[in-house]
């Protein structure tokens, strides 16, 4: 049951691929400052689940609620706007825009969501992630760790209700995995957002507040 502090809830969620049901997700409730891992083997439907939670790809059935809004009952244009303003995304390969600066990557996230860029917000986030000195650097000139932090800052820039991360640790060693998980948890909690990580990496489990496992469908 949804509570006042819930930023994301699901109910009876099922996923399909090419019209064929592939998995169901146990009901989850994500509160501000809390973290949930969605666990599943490669090919089990984790990315499909995350796309449904992000309002990109419709689930086969069930309900997804962001704060008090039923995501898949909205018209597409309103759902796109909600995604830009209330959902932060961290991709495995970051998808930063190489041709512009770190600061511009953040302000473009606001413009794409129909928001006015807040330059004080740029300074706040980059400073809190200890990368403010990189604000004018092009993102193709960053180290992997620096790019990670920029991706997290961009996901948080529009003050989302929830941050969704897709397999963020799959290519990392143990030390880098621990560092990234701490970064994601600390920054989302500080910003008052919920965190959902879709992963097959069992190293993530101990770092999260809750773990659910996708159930394959026959």
Q: Is the pTM of this model over 0.85?
A: yes
Pairing of strands 215-216, 35-39: unpaired
67: left (phi over 0), alpha (psi -120 to 50) or beta: left
Residue located via tokens 């984790």? 46
pLDDT in tens, the chain (218 residues): 444 589 999 999 999 998 999 999 999 999 999 999 999 988 899 999 999 999 999 999 999 999 999 999 999 999 999 999 999 999 888 899 999 999 999 999 999 999 999 999 999 999 999 999 999 999 999 998 899 999 999 999 999 999 999 999 888 899 999 999 999 999 999 999 999 999 999 999 999 999 999 999 98
Q: What are the structural domains, with CATH classification, of the chain? A: 6-96+161-216 (3.40.50.300)
Q: How many residues does the chain have?
A: 218
């Amino acid at each position: 049951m949804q509570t006042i502090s819930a930023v994301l809830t699901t109910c009876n969620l099922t996923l399909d691929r090419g019209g064929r049901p592939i998995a169901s997700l146990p009901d989850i409730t994500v509160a501000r400052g809390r973290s949930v891992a969605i666990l599943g083997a490669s090919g089990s439907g984790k990315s499909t689940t995350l796309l449904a939670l992000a309002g990109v790809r419709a689930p086969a059935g069930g309900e997804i609620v962001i704060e008090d809004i039923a995501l898949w009952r909205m018209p597409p244009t309103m759902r796109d706007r909600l995604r830009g303003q209330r959902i932060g995304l961290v991709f495995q390969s970051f998808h930063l825009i190489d041709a512009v600066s770190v600061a511009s990557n953040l302000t473009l996230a606001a413009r794409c969501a129909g928001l006015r860029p807040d330059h004080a917000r740029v300074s706040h986030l980059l400073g809190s992630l200890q990368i403010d000195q990189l604000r004018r650097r092009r993102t193709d000139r960053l180290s992997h760790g620096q790019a990670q932090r920029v991706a997290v800052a961009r996901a948080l820039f529009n003050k989302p209700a929830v941050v969704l991360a897709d397999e963020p640790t799959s290519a990392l060693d143990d030390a880098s995995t621990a560092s990234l998980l701490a970064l994601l948890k600390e920054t989302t909690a500080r910003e008052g957002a919920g965190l959902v990580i879709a992963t097959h990496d069992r190293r993530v489990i101990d770092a999260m507040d809750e773990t659910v496992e996708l159930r394959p469908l026959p």
